[in-house]
């Protein structure tokens, strides 16, 4: 208030013209005002007050006398409409306000005269931060294909769809930490560079500091890693599970949430070479506790999205996938079906459907089988347990029947396997014999085996592919569109 009076006095003293006063006032606003985020404008609008907003132009419409600018600052999917009386602004400034340009706008927040929005800003000052050449700028004020936007991944954040997707992605990451923290789990950082190649979860990327043009070789023709950075062959992790188990068998309940790398030549809308995975691991949990946790966890995340990402979800439901909200609600409200692998085989052999891959006890379930169970037979998420030991990993707890293991796969409509987990084999002799049976290098797994030697305990865990979950929660159909910069075979752009 004092400042205002002083300024008024100065103006009187210097006999500023009206024009000077207007310029001065504009400068004053830019210097003194605090920026308001668009999200806040909509959530608690102070009608009649002067506000300062900053953002990027989505569209500009209008005529000689008045222009309407839809401004978005990323805080929400909603744009704030800026109304500018052209007589108040330089003609070149108005001309430079094009789709993609970055602006700071001050003006009065008022209720809108037009249809389509409740509030708008009557601009009194506009500062252009960054022009955007309309000819060169790839994004237009029209729909673009996902393929085109993927090639422009550096700019696609500026679209409604990708804004919504990445806001939701953030919320889900945050909710995951919140869920586990509230339950007393500890976030454990398992290594990204690993010296163990026994994880058996797929092809690995090698990590080396050696000069690839001058590799040292052993007499037998293999590469000599003894002088490499770690003194041995190292890779990027394909899973944090084994290390996670070590943490769980002391801290009780832990989870990992980190990047995971698979050098598989997988070219599908569900695979990435670099993705993020959540792997909880719990001491004293049996397979049933494990299933209960997985179901509760997923439902918590859906509920969190409904409560915190409503507008983005509604946008995606309208523009990307009309069945999204209904499907999320359906998964939230229905108990997941729990059947054993053997029961699943009985259902599949009992159906009259013709299978491309034969259904036979002992064979792994194919995509067509899983889809039938989830999308046709039960029409809800299905958890399948007790798979034949031959088709599952060495660390899974062996059942007394000698044929099956306490594995669990959670199958979702449209996505397929979203969670894979198991109760872990905690009996030293059984684990070791299985490792030897599969001819895995038990020498490299000495640390894993020691947890079974010293105070072993029943425990369980599972892995959730973060991007697969984001796929499910956003209704997007290609996994490359739910991670900012996808890494896939033949693509590491940006």
Partner RNA sequence: UCCUCAGUAGCUCAGUUGGUUAGAGCAACGGACUGUUAAUCCGUGGGUCGCCGGUUCGAGUCCAGCCUGGGGAGCCA
Min CB(462)–RNA separation in Å: 8
Residue 159 or 308 having the CB closest to RNA = 159
Min CB(12)–RNA separation in Å: 32
Min CB(166)–RNA separation in Å: 17
Min CB(443)–RNA separation in Å: 23
Residue 214 or 490 having the CB closest to RNA = 490
Min CB(390)–RNA separation in Å: 12
Residue 342 or 363 having the CB closest to RNA = 363
Min CB(9)–RNA separation in Å: 33
Burial of 479: CB neighbours in 10 Å, binned 0-12, 13-18, 19+: buried
CB 99 within 8 A of CB 58: yes
Residue keyed to tokens 């609008």: 45
The DSSP line for 219-274 is TTSSB--TTSTTSS-EEE-S-SHHHHHHHHHHHSEEEEEEEEE------STT--SE
* Distance (Å, whole) CA 198 – CA 207: 16
Residue 92 or 227 having the CB closest to RNA = 92
Fill in the DSSP letter of residue 84. Answer: E
CB 460 within 8 A of CB 290: yes
Min CB(176)–RNA separation in Å: 14
* Distance (Å, whole) CA 284 – CA 263: 34
* Distance (Å, whole) CA 419 – CA 231: 35
Residue 150 or 434 having the CB closest to RNA = 150
Min CB(241)–RNA separation in Å: 8
Residue 41 or 228 having the CB closest to RNA = 41
Residue 112 or 456 having the CB closest to RNA = 112
Helical segments of 351-389, H only: 367-371
At residue 34, what are phi and psi to the nearest 5 degrees?
Answer: -95, 135
Residue 270 or 397 having the CB closest to RNA = 270
Instruction: Name the 3-class secondary structure at 441.
Output: coil
Q: Are strands 416-423 and 459-465 parallel, antiparallel or unpaired?
A: antiparallel
At residue 262, what are phi and psi to the nearest 5 degrees?
Answer: -130, 125
CB 385 within 8 A of CB 422: no
- What b-and-e string marks burial along 401-433, b requiring 16 or more CB atoms within 10 Å of the CB? eeebbbbbbbbbbbbbbbbbbbbbbbeeeebbe
């Amino acid at each position: 208030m004092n400042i205002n009076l002083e300024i008024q006095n100065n103006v009187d003293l210097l006999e500023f013209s009206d024009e000077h006063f207007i310029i001065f006032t504009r400068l004053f606003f830019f210097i003194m005002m605090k920026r308001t985020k668009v999200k806040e404008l909509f959530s608690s609008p102070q009608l009649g007050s002067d506000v300062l907003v900053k953002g990027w132009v989505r569209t500009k419409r209008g005529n000689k006398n008045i222009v309407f600018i839809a401004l978005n600052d990323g805080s929400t999917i909603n744009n704030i409409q800026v109304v500018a009386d052209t007589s108040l602004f330089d003609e070149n400034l108005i001309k430079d306000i094009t789709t993609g340009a970055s602006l700071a706008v001050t003006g009065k927040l008022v209720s809108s005269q037009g249809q389509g929005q409740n509030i708008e800003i009557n601009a009194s000052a506009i500062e252009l931060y960054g022009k955007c050449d309309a000819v060169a700028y790839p994004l237009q004020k029209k729909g673009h294909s996902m393929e085109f936007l993927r090639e422009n991944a550096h700019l696609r954040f500026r679209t409604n769809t990708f804004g919504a997707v990445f806001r939701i992605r953030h919320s889900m990451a945050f909710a995951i930490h919140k869920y586990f923290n509230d339950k007393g789990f500890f976030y454990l950082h398992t290594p990204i560079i690993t010296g163990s190649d026994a994880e058996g979860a797929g092809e690995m990327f090698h990590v080396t500091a050696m000069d690839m043009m001058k590799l040292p070789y052993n007499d037998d023709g293999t590469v000599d890693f003894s002088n490499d950075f770690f003194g041995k062959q190292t890779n990027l992790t394909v899973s944090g599970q084994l290390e996670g188990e070590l943490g769980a068998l002391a801290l009780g309940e832990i989870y990992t949430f980190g990047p995971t790398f698979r050098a598989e030549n997988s070219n599908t809308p569900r695979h990435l070479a670099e993705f993020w995975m959540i792997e909880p691991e719990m001491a004293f949990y049996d397979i049933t506790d494990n299933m209960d946790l997985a179901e509760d966890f997923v439902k918590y995340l859906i509920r969190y999205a409904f409560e915190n990402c409503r507008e983005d979800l509604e946008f995606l439901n309208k523009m990307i996938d009309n069945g999204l909200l209904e499907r999320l609600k359906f998964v939230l409200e229905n108990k997941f079906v729990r059947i054993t692998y053997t029961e699943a085989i009985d259902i599949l052999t009992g159906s009259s459907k013709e299978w491309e891959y034969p259904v036979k006890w002992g064979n792994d379930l194919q995509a067509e089988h899983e889809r039938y169970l989830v999308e046709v037979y039960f029409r809800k998420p299905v958890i399948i347990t007790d798979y034949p030991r031959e088709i599952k990993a060495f660390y899974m707890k062996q059942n007394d029947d000698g044929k099956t293991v306490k594995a669990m796969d959670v199958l979702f409509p449209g996505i397929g396997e979203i969670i894979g987990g198991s109760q872990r084999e905690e009996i030293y002799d059984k684990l070791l014999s299985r490792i030897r049976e599969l001819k895995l290098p038990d020498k490299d797994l000495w640390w894993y085996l020691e947890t079974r030697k010293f105070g072993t305990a029943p425990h369980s865990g599972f892995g959730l592919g973060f991007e697969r979950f984001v796929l499910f929660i956003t209704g997007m159909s290609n996994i490359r569109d739910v991670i900012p910069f996808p890494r896939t075979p033949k693509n590491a752009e940006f």
